[in-house]
Amino acid sequence: MNKSELIDAIAAEADISKAAAGRALDATVAAVTKALKDGEMLTLVGFGTFYVGERAARSGRNPRTGATIKIKSAKVPKFRAGKALKDAVN
């Protein structure tokens, strides 16, 4: 499913226009992004939790040259599925 298909599904389920569904989806994505950027966790009960994880610095290998390189530590967005979502998938 891509973004336009998701907008169509939201519009049909909520009985709103596709334009309103698109704005709602964009606002949701912006809110999740802002929360993660601010270092907060965002929990949607039954769906899951979005949070920021830390990836430690490590050494890697350049696949083209084979040379060892240093990879910096980084913050990465993560998602942990909630029980209701897990149950719906299984």
- Pair (23, 49) in one structural domain: no
5-31 pLDDT, tens per residue? 999 999 999 999 999 999 999 999 999
Q: Are 45 and 81 contained in the same domain?
A: yes
Query: Tell me, what CATH number does 83's domain have?
Result: 4.10.520.10
CA torsion 64→70→74→77, rounded to 10°? 30
Domain that holds residue 7: 1-38
- pLDDT tens digits for 49-61? 999 999 999 999 9
Instruction: Please tell me the total count of domains within the chain.
Output: 2
| Cβ within 8 Å of residue 6, ≥6 positions away | 25
| Same-domain status, 34 and 46 | no
| CA–CA separation, 16 and 14 (whole Å) | 6
Is there a single domain that holds both residue 62 and residue 34? Answer: no
- Regarding whether 82 and 55 lie in a shared domain, the answer is yes
Cβ–Cβ < 8 Å for 79, 53? no
Beta strands in the chain (DSSP E): 42-44, 48-55, 58-61, 68-71, 74-81
Confidence of residue 39 (pLDDT cuts 50, 70, 90): very high
| Pair 23, 52 in one domain | no
The pTM of this model reads: 0.80
